[in-house]
């Protein structure tokens, strides 16, 4: 075991590397294990806290790198606890439209600041939503208000629950991770280098978060859809929920990137919007065992190694092509929100123990791609995205069957005779996916993939299959806001989260929810 000292103060922090088989042999008794290893240099210890854990699989002797904080003498680690929720100033309210990660963490922040959040969510609570999602998978029947994107917890509920973000604001991320742990997530998300929760655990955590909001005086309504806005001057005076008008003070608009009706509503009301680049492509799926072999080359430890992931990025014709939202041991999900369109995404259970590995393989989409849709102004990218999703539905033959092609056939631009097995449930139809996107996009996807197969030898395997479109990677529209985070033209409307173009993923959406509520209270972030 390698030990390197990071500091020599009372609370020491050390970094150690533990061979993976040794770590797993001791998993149930990690504290005594670490203590026995460290005692000889550190003396008696109260407790050891894991600050960071990452897998180092670059060489054949695969190991975990751990950063540990040692507590001895009178020192003990602080335990995490529920934040303070002071009594609410009842006259002060914030309407939060949408109960995805942005809305959830915005509501909790309101409560911490003594403001009453009134959350309105078009979809259903987790329990009912679970039934709707199962029906979609089983019989291709879509509930346009309750599906993989709409309902309690938003697009984050039946997701993989990967909790990493490119944001470097660790302290702020910690606030969200701790709240998730306090509501039922495993403590390991606080120190794993690539934390994730899993689709089987997220729904209960989301329900617990909702109960905390209600228990502390917040309001959460389901089946409650924002249908109109009454704007006078620079203020939203009233909002219509399912057609019923109610007055409002501040409004956080956290409706996600699938709510096209919200973009249309704003556009009809001549509220400024901007087209923004996003990414599209397909979802590629391999047997998980194949990805494990490619990544680890380590038969000896196959049983204890976590299901392998990958992250790929390259440039083709001056634009990025990259893997997106990789789900080891996962399932490809039908993530459309309307009839007549197909969208794929992916999720995995907490153990990531499914037979398949799926990931988005996408390329940047900019205004040169949507020239034919330019007359839609700021909604040009959105209309192009919708066109592709509807075309995919037709190619799939209806009932959310997904157009698919074996990877090798896609690269050779010929339709597959028999499709490889896949985790996608509503069914798949063999097509030549080169016909889905304009050639410039196909070229980047294909050539990017060819370049990547040189980095990951064996990735272009005969068992791999491609489904499409992966089209909802981020919002195709930005709802512009000022430095004070309200809309550029409406001073009490706060565009927030992924749908407004300020987040991409669970953590960044949650962070944006917190940031916007602090802006309402004029607290610096
Ligand atoms: C299958 C899948 C897997 C994913 N996996 C991951 C992952 O592993 N890690 C990760 O970081 N991200 C993942 N994502 C993306 C992540 O879920 C989103 O980035 C995140 O949920 C965005 O949060 P949000 O709150 O901004 O919007 P959303 O989560 O989209 O929430 C918006 C909410 O607003 C509601 N709404 C919309 N219109 C209205 C209206 N008119 N009135 C009232 N309510 C309305 C919707 O019903 C929805 O609940 C995944 C997404 C999917 C679909």
Per the prediction, the chain carries an average pLDDT of 93
Least confident segment among 68-77, 324-333, 353-362: 68-77
Average pLDDT for residues 366-387, to the nearest whole number?
Answer: 97
Report d(CA 42, CA 321) in Å as an integer.
49
Instruction: Tell me the best of 124, 137, 156 to mutate to test the pocket of ligand 1, counting ligand atoms within 8 Å of each CB and taking the most.
Output: 156
pLDDT the model gives residue 525: 73
Q: Which atom of ligand 1 is nearest to the CA of 101?
A: 25
pLDDT the model gives residue 410: 97
420-459 burial: b if 16+ Cβ within 10 Å, else e = bebbbbbbbebbbbbebbeeebbbbbbbbbeebbeeeeeb
The residue among 401 and 161 whose pLDDT is bigger is: 401
Residue 428 has pLDDT above 80, yes or no: yes
Residue 3 is inside which H or E element, if any? strand 2-5
- Nearest to residue 306, comparing CAs of 316, 295, 319? 295
Q: Per residue in 119-130, pLDDT tens? A: 999 999 999 999
Q: Per residue in 448-485, pLDDT tens? A: 999 999 999 999 999 999 999 999 999 999 999 999 99
Contact of 502 with 496, CB cutoff 8 Å: yes
Which pair of tokens denotes residue 389? 């999703």
Break the chain down into helix, strand, coil percent, rounded to 5: 35, 25, 40
CB within 8 A of 58, min separation 6: which ones? none
Average pLDDT for residues 415-424, to the nearest whole number?
Answer: 97
**CA–centroid distance, residue 223 to ligand 1 (Å):** 16
Q: Does residue 469 have a cis bond before it (omega within 30 degrees)?
A: yes
**CA–centroid distance, residue 155 to ligand 1 (Å):** 3
pLDDT the model gives residue 354: 95
The residue among 92 and 13 whose pLDDT is bigger is: 92
Least confident segment among 69-73, 104-108, 378-382, 404-408: 69-73
Q: Per residue in 316-343, pLDDT tens? A: 999 999 999 999 999 999 999 999 999 9
pLDDT the model gives residue 256: 98
Ligand 1, residues at Cβ distance < 6 Å: 97-103, 120-123, 148-151, 154-156, 158-162, 225-226, 254-256, 259, 262, 325, 333, 335, 345, 347, 497-499, 503-506, 509
Report d(CA 43, CA 60) in Å as an integer.
33
Cβ neighbours around 399 below 10 Å, total: 16
Does residue 210 sit in helix, strand or coil? helix
Instruction: Tell me the best of 256, 259, 358, 513 to mutate to test the pocket of ligand 1, counting ligand atoms within 8 Å of each CB and taking the most.
Output: 256
Question: Where residue 269 falls among pLDDT bands split at 50, 70, 90?
Answer: very high
Domains in the chain: ranges and CATH: 2-71 (3.30.1660), 93-273+479-520 (3.50.50.60), 275-470 (no CATH)
CB within 8 A of 184, min separation 6: which ones? 201, 204, 205, 208
Query: What distance separates the 2 farthest-apart alpha carbons in the chain?
Result: 73
Least confident segment among 66-75, 222-231, 374-383: 66-75
Question: Where residue 275 falls among pLDDT bands split at 50, 70, 90?
Answer: very high
Residue 60 has pLDDT above 90, yes or no: no
Report d(CA 507, CA 504) in Å as an integer.
8
Whose Cα sits closest to atom 48 in ligand 1?
154
Instruction: Tell me the best of 97, 98, 109, 338 to mutate to test the pocket of ligand 1, counting ligand atoms within 8 Å of each CB and taking the most.
Output: 98
Average pLDDT for residues 503-514, to the nearest whole number?
Answer: 95
Spell out where 8-132 has E strands.
13-19, 47-56, 63-71, 93-97, 116-121
Residue 298 has pLDDT above 90, yes or no: no
Question: Where residue 22 falls among pLDDT bands split at 50, 70, 90?
Answer: confident
Which residue(s) pair with 334 in the sheet?
Answer: 344
Residue holding tokens 């975990």? 64
Q: What are phi and psi of 32, to 5 degrees?
A: -60, -35
Question: Where residue 2 falls among pLDDT bands split at 50, 70, 90?
Answer: low
Residue 39 has pLDDT above 70, yes or no: no
pLDDT the model gives residue 42: 59
CB within 8 A of 131, min separation 6: which ones? none
Sheet with 2-5, edge to edge strand ranges? 2-5, 13-19, 63-71, 47-56
Report d(CA 42, CA 53) in Å as an integer.
21
pLDDT the model gives residue 33: 76
pLDDT the model gives residue 431: 98
Residue 268 has pLDDT above 90, yes or no: yes
């Amino acid at each position: 075991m390698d030990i390197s000292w990071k500091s020599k103060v009372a609370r020491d922090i050390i970094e150690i590397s533990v061979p993976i088989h040794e770590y797993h042999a001791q998993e149930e008794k990690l504290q005594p294990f670490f203590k026995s290893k460290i005692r000889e240099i550190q003396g008696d210890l109260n407790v050891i806290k894991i600050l960071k854990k990452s897998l180092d699989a670059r060489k054949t002797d695969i190991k975990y790198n751990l950063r540990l904080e040692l507590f001895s003498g009178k020192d003990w680690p602080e335990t995490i606890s529920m934040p303070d929720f002071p009594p609410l100033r009842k006259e002060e309210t914030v309407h939060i439209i949408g109960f995805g990660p942005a809305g959830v963490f915005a509501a909790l922040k309101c409560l911490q600041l003594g403001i009453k959040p009134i959350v309105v969510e078009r979809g259903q609570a987790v329990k009912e939503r679970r039934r709707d999602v199962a029906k979609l998978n089983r019989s291709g029947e879509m509930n346009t208000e309750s599906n993989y994107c709409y309902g309690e917890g938003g697009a984050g509920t039946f997701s993989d629950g990967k909790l990493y973000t490119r944001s470097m604001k660790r302290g702020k991320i910690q606030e969200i991770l701790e709240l998730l742990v306090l509501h039922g997530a495993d403590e390991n998300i606080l120190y794993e280098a690539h934390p994730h929760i899993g689709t089987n655990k997220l729904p209960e955590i989301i329900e617990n978060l909702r109960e905390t909001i209600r228990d502390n005086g917040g309001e959460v309504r389901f089946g409650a859809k924002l249908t109109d806005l009454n704007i006078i001057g620079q203020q939203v005076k009233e909002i219509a929920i399912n057609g019923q008008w109610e007055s409002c003070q501040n409004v956080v608009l956290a409706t996600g990137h699938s709510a096209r009706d919200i973009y249309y509503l704003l556009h009809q009301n001549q509220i400024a919007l901007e087209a923004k680049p996003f990414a599209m492509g397909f979802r590629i799926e391999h047997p998980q065992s194949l990805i494990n072999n490619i990544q680890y080359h380590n038969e000896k430890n196959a049983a204890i190694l976590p299901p392998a992931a990958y992250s790929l990025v390259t440039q083709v014709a001056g634009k990025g092509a990259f893997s997106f939202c990789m789900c080891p041991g996962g399932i490809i999900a039908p993530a459309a929100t309307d009839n007549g369109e197909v969208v794929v995404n992916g999720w995995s259970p907490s153990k990531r123990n499914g037979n398949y590995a799926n990931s988005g393989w996408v390329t940047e989409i900019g205004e040169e791609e949507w020239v034919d849709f330019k007359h839609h102004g700021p909604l040009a990218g959105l209309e192009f995205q919708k066109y592709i999703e509807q075309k995919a539905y037709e190619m799939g033959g209806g009932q959310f069957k997904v157009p698919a092609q074996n990877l090798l056939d896609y690269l050779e631009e010929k339709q597959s005779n028999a499709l490889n097995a896949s985790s996608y449930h509503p069914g798949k139809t063999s097509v030549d996916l080169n016909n889905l996107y304009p050639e410039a996009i196909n070229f980047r996807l294909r050539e990017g993939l060819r370049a990547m197969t040189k980095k990951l030898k064996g990735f272009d395997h005969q068992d791999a299959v491609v489904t499409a479109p992966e089209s909802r990677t981020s919002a195709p529209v930005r709802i512009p806001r000022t430095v004070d985070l309200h809309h550029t033209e409406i001073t009490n409307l706060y565009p927030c989260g992924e749908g407004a173009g300020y987040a991409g993923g669970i953590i960044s959406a949650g962070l944006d929810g917190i940031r916007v509520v602090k802006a309402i209270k004029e607290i610096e972030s």
